[in-house]
Chains A and B, each alone.
Chain A
Amino acid sequence: MLRPPVRPPPTEHLVKRLLPFLGAAGVLAWLVSIYLFDPEQGRHYLPCPFRWLTGWLCPGCGSQRAMHDLFHGRLCEALGHNAALVCCIPLLGAQWAVGRWRGLSLGTDNRVVYGWAIALVAWGIVRNLPGLEVLAR
């Protein structure tokens, strides 16, 4: 069934239509800044709000340092900062590729969704356990 696309009124949705561009520009600026500045050197990056409030590491803590190291080809150091991030990138890529190949996204399978949720929460817990500081340098 073909229907002509509904065009929103020009001014009413202007902000809404600009948001994706703003977001993309922001992400680009963020990526460039992570490439340029080493988050380990200065204390200029704001702390993770979760860590600031609770004192615990969240599943994403260390991902900026890990990204900086990845951009500069230091895989081992990136793994030390946030191993989950380093594993996530190929896993998400594989999930996308399998979904394309099957013609149906793997994300439509709740076993995959719960797998991600449990893995991310478990990662957040495990890296706060004493004796496992190696997971959260």
Chain B
Amino acid sequence: MNPPVRPKNWLVESILVTIFCCLPFGIAGIVNAANVNSRYDSGDFEGADKASKEAGKWTKIGFWIGLSLNLIGIIAYLLMIFVFVSAAAAGAASSY
């Protein structure tokens, strides 16, 4: 029987999440990437598949948390600019 296809180990994605978003989730992804490799190489294909799903889960959690925190920050910043500009405009209008 041929061995099944090597499951995706999410290594690069976990590294990017670690360096751009939040530490614990990315590291969890990298540890599971190591599990994918060792289980697949020892013939535990089912375990490798499980580790791959786990790695993907942590990488995605880190990605979405990091991205939403960033986007919330950007939206808050844009709102601040908007409020500031409209307040300045109101102030300029009232001084005439």
Contact = CB atoms under 8 A, between A and B. Distances in A.
Q: Do A and B come from one complex?
A: yes
B17 to A, nearest CB: 9
B71 A26 contact: yes
A23 B67 contact: yes
B63 A59 contact: no
Majority SS at the chain B contact face? helix
> What bracket does the count of chain B residues touching chain A fall in?
35 or more
Contact of B23 (A58, A108, A109): A58
Greatest chain A CB density within 10 A among B24, B76, B77 is at B77
B37 A109 contact: yes
Contacts of B16: 92
Contacts of B67: 23, 26-27, 30
Given A107-B33, A113-B11, A113-B30, A49 B76 contact: no
Given A44-B80, A58-B22, A30 B30 contact: no
A44 B77 contact: yes
A76 interface: no
B30 A116 contact: yes
Majority SS at the chain A contact face? helix
Interface in B1-50: 6, 9, 11-12, 15-16, 18-24, 26-27, 30-31, 33-34, 37-38, 40
Interface of A: 23, 26-27, 29-30, 33, 37, 42, 44-46, 48-50, 58-60, 63-64, 82, 84-85, 88, 92, 95-96, 105, 107-110, 112-114, 116-117, 120-121, 124
Interface of B: 6, 9, 11-12, 15-16, 18-24, 26-27, 30-31, 33-34, 37-38, 40, 63-65, 67-74, 76-77, 80
